[in-house]
Structure 1
């Protein structure tokens, strides 16, 4: 597993790149199946709903390390199965959703490069989003490794 991080100095965007030890179809299923997503993404049991198609809605309730719960909602803007997903995330008090893009590039039978990109409105928002996305990728890597051992 390898990780690359880049943040442009003149805007509030970040890109995270990681190589996962799983085929793209497994990465896609982990990200787009409610039961699997809840297992690795820190969502409360039974809180994840996904209608994975352009214009489809999603929601989940994330559990924070201190036990608090944060409800999240949004929609799918672009969907190309096993390759590309663009997600709109509703921001409390925001007029526009935050948009995160996920790109999958299979690298042989058992490895997939995942790239997450997001542009934010401020450096603080970018830093928080990048930290959250890094934690998601860490959890996803651990989940996929455990699935592979089973």
Structure 2
């Protein structure tokens, strides 16, 4: 996985790039199907709702390793099937949503490059978001590999 951090005029950004051993369609389904997303992203079963279209809402209750739960909500800002998701995430005490962009690029029939990008307001926020996104991509990769071997 490659990682890039930068400080832009409008905030602190990071970009994570990884090659996944799965087709673009399988990666898209894993990211946009509530039951599949809950299985790999660490969400409580039955808590994930997704209306995957521009302006559509999403929500999930995430589980921490120590058993705590925290709810997340947001909306889809841009949706290009099998290519791009721009996801707005509601953040308490913040005027607008945090925005994460997920781009998918087919490498061949069974491999996909995923590029995840987010800009944050502070270096500390960026570092925390990047750590969470790295864990998310690790889980996605493990999930897709396990699905292939089944």
TM-score, structure 1 normalization: 0.97
Q: Which secondary structure state, in structure 1, belongs to the residue aligned with residue 37 of structure 2? A: helix
Match of 2:139 in 1: 139
CA-CA distance at 1:8 after TM superposition: 1.2
How far apart, CA to CA, are the structure 2 residues paired with 1:38 and 1:85?
17
Do residues 7 (structure 1) and 5 (structure 2) align? Answer: yes
More strand by share: 2
How far apart, CA to CA, are the structure 1 residues paired with 2:133 and 2:35?
19
Q: Which runs of 5+ in 2 are unaligned?
A: none
Q: Which runs of 5+ in 1 are unaligned?
A: none
Q: Which secondary structure state, in structure 2, belongs to the residue aligned with residue 82 of structure 1? A: coil
How far apart, CA to CA, are the structure 2 residues paired with 1:89 and 1:71?
11
- Where in structure 2 are the equivalents of 1:64-79 lying within 5 Å? 64-79=64-79
Pair 119,9 (structure 1): closer, same or farther in 2 beyond 3 Å: closer
Q: Which secondary structure state, in structure 1, belongs to the residue aligned with residue 19 of structure 2? A: strand
What is the alpha-carbon root mean square deviation over aligned residues? 0.7
CA-CA distance at 1:108 after TM superposition: 0.5
Do residues 60 (structure 1) and 60 (structure 2) align? Answer: yes
Match of 1:106 in 2: 106
Map Cα deviations across residues 44-85 of structure 1 (whole Å, 9 max, x no partner): 010000000000000000001110000000000000000000
CA-CA distance at 1:9 after TM superposition: 4.5
Map Cα deviations across residues 78-136 of structure 1 (whole Å, 9 max, x no partner): 00000000000000111110000000000011000000000000000000000000000
Match of 2:149 in 1: 149
How far apart, CA to CA, are the structure 2 residues paired with 1:105 and 1:38?
23
TM-score, structure 2 normalization: 0.97
How far apart, CA to CA, are the structure 1 residues paired with 2:71 and 2:119?
21
Q: Which secondary structure state, in structure 1, belongs to the residue aligned with residue 108 of structure 2? A: coil
